[in-house]
């Protein structure tokens, strides 16, 4: 067994196996897909090829996690785990770790995040808490824009998804849970409690997408920008195609009905029969990031065919940085703090997802 394995937990899911496919050509037999079913993980590992292996892991059982982490250097978590047992185990072992579903809105900017950071520094663990599109790619774009402006005071991010692309069981369950949350929005140096799908505004995603009505949403990128970059305002919005569905969700949120969807039993019932979509069946998505520093502002846009592909590229980019030792200091970090933008964005471009940085 290698002592440098890259363990992808939830690796048989749609994003996990795409992360494996992105990393496998460079890291060969070091990539391991882990899940509750060894048979399914093994089947997916065989499809990826390049010596990718399979392993069993049950993230609800501490001793099972410890066994599965044996020999690993980097852990990529692709599953929703509110109790954070996998994160804690990675910290205890001093491993590198990144997470696609970090639920940073639950950590906030207070003692919980500080405790995780302190524990990681003590054990030597290197954590990048938030990867994928938002947070992940969006954070690296923010870093690029902030560098160009010489600083940052305000960040506004907007993501457009097609309802057809929120189709896998994991992504659907995650979306429903976030939809029912209330959360803090940081504006002018103060936190304001808000609900998902409130306060709509028009965001121009630029051609061929164009303007779309976008709503406040508890994406994890906005939670820690005041800590990592010292910004006074950080807001992230979500737009959905078709627009009538977004308007309906806004009405449901206003009435409080969406809170019924948050229970595990209801989410399971709604998600029954959902399936992961092949890449060729993906629906278009778009991302826009606006940054202001003093009287100056810049923005960037990104468009692609499938959000799962983009999320996997973002996660693979962070995993690559961890595997190559580019994140040198122990602790809990966000991508804008430790990921070098140029090579990260170049890999997106190599997959046809070039970020556009207009200068006008």
Please indicate, yes or no, whether residues 324 and 216 belong to a single structural domain of this protein.
no
Please indicate, yes or no, whether residues 165 and 273 belong to a single structural domain of this protein.
yes
Please indicate, yes or no, whether residues 92 and 146 belong to a single structural domain of this protein.
no
- Per the domain annotation, does 359 fall within a domain? no
Question: What's the domain count of the chain?
Answer: 2
Residue-level pLDDT at 233: 98
Please indicate, yes or no, whether residues 253 and 325 belong to a single structural domain of this protein.
no
What CATH number corresponds to the domain at position 276? 3.30.360.10
Cα separation of 112 and 96, whole Å?
19
Phi (first) and psi of residue 354, to 5 degrees: -65, 135
Q: How many of the other CB atoms lie within 10 Å of CB of 161? A: 22
Residue 57 is classified by DSSP as: -
Please indicate, yes or no, whether residues 117 and 237 belong to a single structural domain of this protein.
no
In the Cβ-directed half-sphere of 234, how many Cα atoms lie within 13 Å? 27
Please indicate, yes or no, whether residues 243 and 287 belong to a single structural domain of this protein.
yes
Residue-level pLDDT at 44: 87
Residue-level pLDDT at 183: 85
Cα separation of 188 and 75, whole Å?
36
Residue-level pLDDT at 167: 47
Domain range enclosing 111:
5-132+310-350
The low-confidence residues of the chain, meaning pLDDT below 50, are 1, 167, 266-274, 279
pTM over 0.85: yes
Is residue 31 within a helix (H) or strand (E), and if so which, with residue range? strand 31-35
Residue-level pLDDT at 46: 87
Residue-level pLDDT at 7: 97
Structure tokens at 319: 């995993």
- Per the domain annotation, does 360 fall within a domain? no
Structure tokens at 304: 């692609």
Please indicate, yes or no, whether residues 127 and 146 belong to a single structural domain of this protein.
no
- Per the domain annotation, does 355 fall within a domain? no
Chain Cα centroid distance, residue 125? 20
Q: Write down the H helix ranges in 264-305.
A: 264-271
Looking at the chain, the number of H-run helices and the number of E-run strands are: 14, 15
String of DSSP letters for 9-30: ETTTSHHHHHHHHHHHHHHGGG
Cα separation of 340 and 327, whole Å?
10
Please indicate, yes or no, whether residues 120 and 168 belong to a single structural domain of this protein.
no
Please indicate, yes or no, whether residues 192 and 281 belong to a single structural domain of this protein.
yes
Please indicate, yes or no, whether residues 140 and 164 belong to a single structural domain of this protein.
yes
- Per the domain annotation, does 93 fall within a domain? yes
Cβ 305 vs Cβ 284: under 8 Å: yes
């Amino acid at each position: 067994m290698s002592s440098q394995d890259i363990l992808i937990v939830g690796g048989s899911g749609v994003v996990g196996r795409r992360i494996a496919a992105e990393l496998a050509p460079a890291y060969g037999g070091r990539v391991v897909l882990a899940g509750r079913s060894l048979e399914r993980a093994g089947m997916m590992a065989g499809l990826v090829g390049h010596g990718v292996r399979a392993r069993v892991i049950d993230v609800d059982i501490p001793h099972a996690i410890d066994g599965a982490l044996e020999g690993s250097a980097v852990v990529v978590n692709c599953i929703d785990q509110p109790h954070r047992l996998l994160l804690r185990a990675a910290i205890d072992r001093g491993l590198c770790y990144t997470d696609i579903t970090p639920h940073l809105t639950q950590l906030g900017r207070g003692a919980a995040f500080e405790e995780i950071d302190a524990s990681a520094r003590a054990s030597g663990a290197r954590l990048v808490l938030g990867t994928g599109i938002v947070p992940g790619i969006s954070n690296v774009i923010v870093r690029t824009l902030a560098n160009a402006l010489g600083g940052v005071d305000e960040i506004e991010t907007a993501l457009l998804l097609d309802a057809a692309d929120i189709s896998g069981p994991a992504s659907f369950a995650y979306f429903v849970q976030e939809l029912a949350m209330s959360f803090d929005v940081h504006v002018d140096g103060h936190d304001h409690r808000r609900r998902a799908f409130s306060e709509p505004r028009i965001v121009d995603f630029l051609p061929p997408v164009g303007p779309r009505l976008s709503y406040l949403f508890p994406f994890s990128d906005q939670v820690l920008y005041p800590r990592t970059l010292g910004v006074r305002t950080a807001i992230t919005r979500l737009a959905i195609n078709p627009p009538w569905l977004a308007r309906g969700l806004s009405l449901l949120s206003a009435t409080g009905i969406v809170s019924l969807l948050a229970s595990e039993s209801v989410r399971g019932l709604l998600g029954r029969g959902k399936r992961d979509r092949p890449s060729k069946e993906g629906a278009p998505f778009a991302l826009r990031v606006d940054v202001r520093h003093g009287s100056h502002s810049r923005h960037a846009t990104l468009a692609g065919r499938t959000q799962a592909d983009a999320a996997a590229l973002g996660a693979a980019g962070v995993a690559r940085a961890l595997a190559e030792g580019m994140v040198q200091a122990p602790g809990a970090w966000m991508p804008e703090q430790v990921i070098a933008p140029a090579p990260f964005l170049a890999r997106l471009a190599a997959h046809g997802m070039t970020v556009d940085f207009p200068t006008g």
